[in-house]
Structure 1
Amino acid sequence: MTMFDTVLVANRGEIAVRVIRTLRTMGVRSVAVFSDADAGARHVREADTAVRIGPPAAAESYLSIRRLLDAAARTGARAVHPGYGFLAENAEFARACEAAGLVFIGPPAEAISLMGDKIRAKETVRAAGVPVVPGSTGSGLSDAELAAAAREIGMPVLLKPSAGGGGKGMRLIRAESALAEEIATARREALASFGDDTLLVERWIESPRHIEIQVLADAHGQVVHLGERECSLQRRHQKVVEEAPSVLLDEATRAAMGEAAVRAARSCGYTGAGTVEFIVPGGDPSAYCFMEMNTRLQVEHPVTELTVSIAGRRGLDLVEWQLRTAAGERLPFAQRDIGFSGHAVEARICAEDPARGFLPSGGRVLALREPNGPGVRTDSGLGEGTEVSSRYDPMLAKVIAHGPDRPTALRLLRAALAETVTLGVPTNAGFLRRLLAHPEVVAGRLDTGLVEREAAGLTPDGVPEEVYAAAAAVRQAALAPVPDASGWSDPFSASGGWRLGGEPAPPAFPLEIAGSAPVTHRAPALFEITPDTVTVTVDGLTHSFHRAGDWLGRDGDAWRVRDHDPVAASLGGGARPGADTLAAPMPGTVTVVKAAVGDEVAAGQSLLVVEAMKMEHVISAPHAGTVTELDVAPGATVAMDQVLAVVTPAAPQEEARRD
């Protein structure tokens, strides 16, 4: 079979751009698809051609098999690359491509189906001699059966969707009393993410390491592994930093896990690039257990590409080999030809706000600076003007660094994150830079709970003084009179603090940053302004910021500074203040409403669920009382800080009667 001349990329954002880049290198024509929300997106601009496939809702665009196949037919595509997410691990999509005469650039549908069912996958690889995590058996367990299995295994347990991955719907349960609600929540998340609410329960391994093995297989029986990736730095079961190789494994364990991954791939008839994931006790790496197999390209694949070597030559393009194996080519190398060189670390840049508990964020990218250079690579779907919405996954870009050793790679990545500028959309770049400097991370003492334990200490407490100084400097500079064509400016047009018989008093500006109380601040005596930057000197130290619109940024962090209007605030502009008011913590969609006006509720009782970027956020009653306002229904789209409900507190005597 010859190489394809046209390939449709059935995805969006960073991975679509990544695949299009390799297609261009190989001389293959690329076809992008886009929803109305992505009409101006980077992947649309970079493809050779692009096809609109529907409205913003993923179910009517990126998840519509019919519309994707129609786009392929209209553009003459011979193959489809699914990227990751959406339909990448959907066996029905793979079969539909085959039926339409298209090559699905991924494994056979049977392998997707088998490994996509975590219950069947565990049974299959166990039969192939691969160790698995102890857990429930059987498919289609009811809520009561899941709860019984959890009690039999013993707390704590991990509840997981049988379909899909990426941490969606995964819940760590430590108390039996939480089982019912956690099972219900996990079913909702699994159904929303994968269209299947089947769950299983597994024993929770304390202080676990998450290590995965990259495999590559052709259609002629050749299967190799390309080493491991350490993915233990996670938050809410979502990976945030990955690296290769892992500092935990010795050569014997690495070889054993690699062989186990190859057996797992063979057991399901795998072809193409895939990943076998293991849970590894930090104190005993030899006791590794199979968790699941991802039948697609992984987000973290660049760290493998940068460290693997074939016959002594460093570097491999996994997307290229996905295409080559899908086109029927044989792998021209065997396991003995594969080696490794140096160390690589990747950080995922996500649209989330660490200062607001990592809630999903959104907005328009006003200024963008992405690092590149010796030892640094950025894979991104962003461009200036990009609108980041809550409809899709929050990952915006990946920054990867490679060096001769781990300390060098970490240092390069921290510097690259400090250079990253994404003004207009809050991201986690600054948080990741601080995480990579944490002593436990630097020492390689990792586990999947480390980020959660240390998150508070890695998030700045309050707004630095120099941020307010920079914001005041920008405002003072805007008050300066503008000279005419001859260079003369009218002194009476200046809006400074002129006063009779004295030096001008610099004006004070009322400023407000989300999450912090309003302050009044004057510009420092020394500052310098350009259209894109502001530099201020505070207490003898000079600080430089990028700026765009209301935003200031430095070292990967960003702040939106607005003028505080106390009159408008007192009149109720925006979300109404007060402990009785429940406002949307993020832009998203209301998926569940559990109360009605007039209901009496207890403190902490769940009232609504808001979903954004595949994450659920439960809105609970702030105190006991009566629901006096409820302004939304299931399916409603809400903006950040939009009022959702009001709970009027119960009178003291009523609370006493309830007690």
Structure 2
Amino acid sequence: MFSTVLVANRGEIAVRVIRTLRELGVRSVAVFSDADADARHVREADTAVRIGPAAAAESYLSVERLLDAARRTGAEAVHPGYGFLAENAAFAAACAEAGLAFIGPPASAISLMGDKIRAKETVKAAGVPVVPGSSGSGLSDAELVAAAEEIGMPVLLKPSAGGGGKGMRLVREAGLLGEEIAAARREARSSFGDDTLLVERWVDRPRHIEIQVLADAHGNVVHLGERECSLQRRHQKVIEEAPSVLLTPELRASMGAAAVEAARSCGYVGAGTVEFIVPGGDPSSYYFMEMNTRLQVEHPVTELITGLDLVEQQLRVAAGAELGFGQADVTLTGHAVEARVCAEDPARGFLPSGGMVLALSEPSGGAVRTDSGLLAGVDTGSTYDPMLSKVIVHGPDRATALRMLRGALADTVILGVQTNAGFLRRLLAHPDVVSGNLDTGLVERDLSGLLPDGVPPEVYAAAALLAQASLPHPAPSRNPAGGSGNPGWVNPFGAADGWRLGGTPAWTVRHFRLPGQDPVEVRTRPAGPGSGLATELLVAAGAPARGRIVALSADRLTVELDGVTHQFTYAASPEGTWLGRDADSWHVQDHDPVTASLTGNARGGADTLAAPMPGTVTVVKVAVGDKVAAGQSLLVVEAMKMEHVISAPHSGTVTELDVAPGSTVAMDQVLAVVTPDEDEKEESA
């Protein structure tokens, strides 16, 4: 076994790899960019090396800086995790040239399987069934159109060099092929530096099944069963499970054998995943889709049903050891399900979120496991991938595991950052998910029913009660003239309870605002003499309610509203108060409309263009004084690998431009103002 291993990654996967290294007594070396100086993986490693600024191209994607960090710390091997350089053949080759063991397959296997066209041809020759599609590399637009017409519509356009759904286009009409090919090429070129495309037959309502394989350098290859990865949004997996309810033991053996042959065909060594597309109506007609030459995000579900630590297996294989077990020794026990918790706001179209983690509580122990890169007090930023953590459970059967995962997500508290945890809980309760009737289009078809209905009024009520409780309550003033039999009078003007002379207590009016939403008015007043914190509330135009704080600690709030008790986790910050409940979280911030109208970051109106998410302005296409047309692209904001184009809301003139390329912006920060032309104003009037 190695004595020192460098982990060439960040976030939850770096923390997860470091955990196994610690258990094996292997010294771990973390690397970090300036954006990750206080990150969890940096704190948990035995040694940490700064490798550059926040930009990934100058840090986590820099082969030279990673190799220098390995040299400086005496590392003997490099674990690439997933993402960044994990499937980069040049990086694997550079490690070998530097005398470092690359904990992954040889560069030749990465290169072969990284080219989807060559990969299909290779596994097809080995007898593995592939999706009908185009053959040959470097096809022109005309050749792609001809191949699509021969296959028959609908078809799927795919970049040969990439993955993760980037550049993929589903085309149902032949007349749209030209423009869709052009769009797919642009995105492929931008994402992978290679615009080579292939075209495949589209399988309606497909299921995504992948097989985990392990291979050593001595010719031993086994599979560890399958994972069901059909729950996806925009080709990105959100929930994975093992085993799949679709596969019979016979079909599992058949697909497993095909995956083993695919691995042998490219000379694979290490842990890898062979992905298949499976028609839901005919599971026996499965097709090879691609091979991921790295550890997968969803590897924990396989670990939980097999009892194997896949990172440990990777390390042993890379050190030259044999697997030590055969296919007959692999047993699958129980059912495991994983949910990916991401920094994104489902209510706002899943736009990336971000911010400081003000309070954190993650379930673990027993049948629940959380792989996380989070720490309280650390800013998640908007530079890298939005995935924050993974919550995984292992139960005796599928129904139990689904229920356990919903409960574990409800126990996941990440205050300060909007996440998709509530969305995931609703998805797990979807009737088709519960029954196992899955396909890759399920989430998109039923998305509206999986989104939150809005912020419950009790959230604003709880925030108002919390704000009231935090007001100063000075000690009562007494008349110094009072004697022993006359203690004097209490000064009511020193209390913050809404008291007023000769009448009903006054309403205290507060405005709370969530990012991207209008302010909500909440009025509170004491419910009556001697009521303490018991309060009458009026949230917006709702019916009056009576509420009180039942219990209040440093991070927990229990309130009673009209006889119903609600519990929240909360955290206060200079920006406002975060409250979370049942895996949904909200940021409620005191908001003064008069003051806000005078501050640059809170202005509104049809003329104002604000940042839809925290991020970095990467492109500015206009200047103050420019005439623009309605819908014209003006700026691009990038966050967590997602670009958002900011367009002109109407024709007019750019009268204000508050950012430049490279500017870091907060959510709802004003970027520009477009004043409409006079004729536009008259038309609107």
TM-score (norm 1): 0.92
The one-letter amino acid of 2:7's match is V
Once the two structures are TM-superposed, the CA of residue 133 in structure 1 deviates from its matched residue by 1.6
> Which of 404, 409, 428 is the aligned partner of 1:417?
409
Once the two structures are TM-superposed, the CA of residue 402 in structure 1 deviates from its matched residue by 0.6
Assess if the C-alpha contact under 8 Å between 2:600 and 2:669 holds in 1.
no
Change (3 A) 1:474 1:346: same
Assess if the C-alpha contact under 8 Å between 2:158 and 2:197 holds in 1.
yes
Structure 2: give runs of 5+ residues left out of the alignment: 477-489, 525-536, 538-545
The question of 1:561 aligning with 2:583 is answered: no
Change (3 A) 1:337 1:514: same
The question of 1:641 aligning with 2:668 is answered: yes
CA distance in 2, matches of 1:148, 1:579: 46
Once the two structures are overlaid, the 10-residue window that deviates more, 138-147 or 550-559, is 138-147
Once the two structures are TM-superposed, the CA of residue 185 in structure 1 deviates from its matched residue by 4.8
Change (3 A) 1:597 1:448: farther
1:298 maps to 296
The question of 1:367 aligning with 2:390 is answered: no
Once the two structures are superposed, the pairs formed by residues 526-605 of structure 1 within 5 Å of their partners are: 526-528=548-550, 529-549=552-572, 550-571=577-598, 573-592=600-619, 603-605=630-632
> Which of 390, 397, 406 is the aligned partner of 1:398?
390
CA distance in 2, matches of 1:157, 1:647: 41
Over the matched positions of the two proteins, sequence identity in percent amounts to 77
2:247 maps to 249
CA distance in 2, matches of 1:653, 1:396: 45
Once the two structures are TM-superposed, the CA of residue 29 in structure 1 deviates from its matched residue by 0.6
Change (3 A) 1:630 1:653: closer
> Which of 407, 416, 436 is the aligned partner of 2:428?
436
Once the two structures are TM-superposed, the CA of residue 372 in structure 1 deviates from its matched residue by 1.3
Assess if the C-alpha contact under 8 Å between 1:481 and 1:490 holds in 2.
no
CA distance in 1, matches of 2:19, 2:646: 42
CA distance in 2, matches of 1:655, 1:497: 47
Once the two structures are overlaid, the 10-residue window that deviates more, 297-306 or 369-378, is 369-378
1:509 maps to 510
Once the two structures are overlaid, the 10-residue window that deviates more, 591-600 or 73-82, is 591-600
2:319 maps to 327
Once the two structures are TM-superposed, the CA of residue 592 in structure 1 deviates from its matched residue by 4.8
2:481 maps to none
2:96 maps to 98
Q: 2:389 aligns to what SS in structure 1?
A: strand
Once the two structures are superposed, the pairs formed by residues 125-140 of structure 1 within 5 Å of their partners are: 125-140=123-138
Once the two structures are TM-superposed, the CA of residue 614 in structure 1 deviates from its matched residue by 1.3
Q: 2:601 aligns to what SS in structure 1?
A: coil
Assess if the C-alpha contact under 8 Å between 1:193 and 1:614 holds in 2.
no
Assess if the C-alpha contact under 8 Å between 2:651 and 2:680 holds in 1.
no
Q: 1:462 aligns to what SS in structure 2?
A: coil
Assess if the C-alpha contact under 8 Å between 2:611 and 2:666 holds in 1.
yes
Assess if the C-alpha contact under 8 Å between 2:617 and 2:636 holds in 1.
yes
Once the two structures are TM-superposed, the CA of residue 264 in structure 1 deviates from its matched residue by 0.5
2:29 maps to 31
Cα RMSD after superposing both structures: 2.5
CA distance in 2, matches of 1:623, 1:11: 44
CA distance in 1, matches of 2:669, 2:154: 37
Q: 1:396 aligns to what SS in structure 2?
A: strand
Q: Per-residue CA shift, 1:554-587, capped at 9, x if unaligned?
A: 1111111011211023335425422233322112
Q: 1:461 aligns to what SS in structure 2?
A: coil
CA distance in 2, matches of 1:440, 1:652: 52
Once the two structures are TM-superposed, the CA of residue 535 in structure 1 deviates from its matched residue by 1.6
1:312 maps to none
Change (3 A) 1:406 1:548: same
Once the two structures are overlaid, the 10-residue window that deviates more, 328-337 or 146-155, is 146-155
Change (3 A) 1:605 1:153: farther
Question: Size of the alignment, in residue pairs?
Answer: 645
CA distance in 2, matches of 1:518, 1:589: 26
1:196 maps to 194
CA distance in 2, matches of 1:151, 1:286: 26
1:218 maps to 216
1:108 maps to 106
> Which of 351, 374, 390 is the aligned partner of 1:382?
374
Q: 2:247 aligns to what SS in structure 1?
A: coil
Once the two structures are TM-superposed, the CA of residue 500 in structure 1 deviates from its matched residue by 1.1
Assess if the C-alpha contact under 8 Å between 2:492 and 2:499 holds in 1.
no
Once the two structures are overlaid, the 10-residue window that deviates more, 531-540 or 350-359, is 531-540
Once the two structures are overlaid, the 10-residue window that deviates more, 340-349 or 511-520, is 511-520
> Which of 445, 453, 461 is the aligned partner of 2:453?
461
CA distance in 2, matches of 1:47, 1:577: 45
Change (3 A) 1:607 1:221: same
The one-letter amino acid of 1:530's match is S
CA distance in 2, matches of 1:616, 1:630: 19
Once the two structures are overlaid, the 10-residue window that deviates more, 346-355 or 539-548, is 539-548
Once the two structures are TM-superposed, the CA of residue 449 in structure 1 deviates from its matched residue by 1.1
The question of 1:356 aligning with 2:354 is answered: no
2:469 maps to 477
CA distance in 1, matches of 2:602, 2:145: 40
Once the two structures are overlaid, the 10-residue window that deviates more, 558-567 or 520-529, is 520-529
Once the two structures are TM-superposed, the CA of residue 252 in structure 1 deviates from its matched residue by 1.7
CA distance in 2, matches of 1:463, 1:654: 35
CA distance in 1, matches of 2:187, 2:56: 15
Assess if the C-alpha contact under 8 Å between 2:132 and 2:200 holds in 1.
yes
Once the two structures are TM-superposed, the CA of residue 336 in structure 1 deviates from its matched residue by 1.4
Once the two structures are overlaid, the 10-residue window that deviates more, 147-156 or 204-213, is 147-156
Assess if the C-alpha contact under 8 Å between 1:168 and 1:614 holds in 2.
no
Once the two structures are TM-superposed, the CA of residue 206 in structure 1 deviates from its matched residue by 1.1
Assess if the C-alpha contact under 8 Å between 2:596 and 2:602 holds in 1.
no
Once the two structures are TM-superposed, the CA of residue 192 in structure 1 deviates from its matched residue by 4.5
Q: 1:497 aligns to what SS in structure 2?
A: coil
CA distance in 2, matches of 1:228, 1:546: 38
The question of 1:168 aligning with 2:191 is answered: no
1:497 maps to 498
Q: 1:227 aligns to what SS in structure 2?
A: strand
Once the two structures are superposed, the pairs formed by residues 57-76 of structure 1 within 5 Å of their partners are: 57-76=55-74
CA distance in 2, matches of 1:631, 1:180: 38
Assess if the C-alpha contact under 8 Å between 1:496 and 1:506 holds in 2.
no
Q: 1:275 aligns to what SS in structure 2?
A: strand
Assess if the C-alpha contact under 8 Å between 2:493 and 2:499 holds in 1.
no
2:52 maps to 54
Assess if the C-alpha contact under 8 Å between 1:215 and 1:262 holds in 2.
yes
Change (3 A) 1:332 1:132: same
Change (3 A) 1:592 1:260: farther
Once the two structures are overlaid, the 10-residue window that deviates more, 366-375 or 598-607, is 598-607
CA distance in 2, matches of 1:478, 1:632: 37
CA distance in 1, matches of 2:276, 2:637: 32
Q: Per-residue CA shift, 1:406-463, capped at 9, x if unaligned?
A: 0100010000000100001111011101110111111111111111122221212221
Once the two structures are TM-superposed, the CA of residue 114 in structure 1 deviates from its matched residue by 0.3
Q: 1:348 aligns to what SS in structure 2?
A: strand
Once the two structures are TM-superposed, the CA of residue 616 in structure 1 deviates from its matched residue by 2.5
CA distance in 2, matches of 1:620, 1:179: 26
Assess if the C-alpha contact under 8 Å between 1:479 and 1:496 holds in 2.
no
Once the two structures are TM-superposed, the CA of residue 515 in structure 1 deviates from its matched residue by 3.5
Once the two structures are TM-superposed, the CA of residue 39 in structure 1 deviates from its matched residue by 0.8
Change (3 A) 1:368 1:147: farther
Q: 1:306 aligns to what SS in structure 2?
A: helix
Once the two structures are TM-superposed, the CA of residue 123 in structure 1 deviates from its matched residue by 0.9
Change (3 A) 1:646 1:479: closer
CA distance in 2, matches of 1:607, 1:573: 19
TM-score (norm 2): 0.89
1:8 maps to 6
CA distance in 1, matches of 2:169, 2:627: 29
Change (3 A) 1:281 1:468: same
Once the two structures are TM-superposed, the CA of residue 509 in structure 1 deviates from its matched residue by 1.8
Assess if the C-alpha contact under 8 Å between 2:159 and 2:168 holds in 1.
yes
The one-letter amino acid of 1:349's match is V
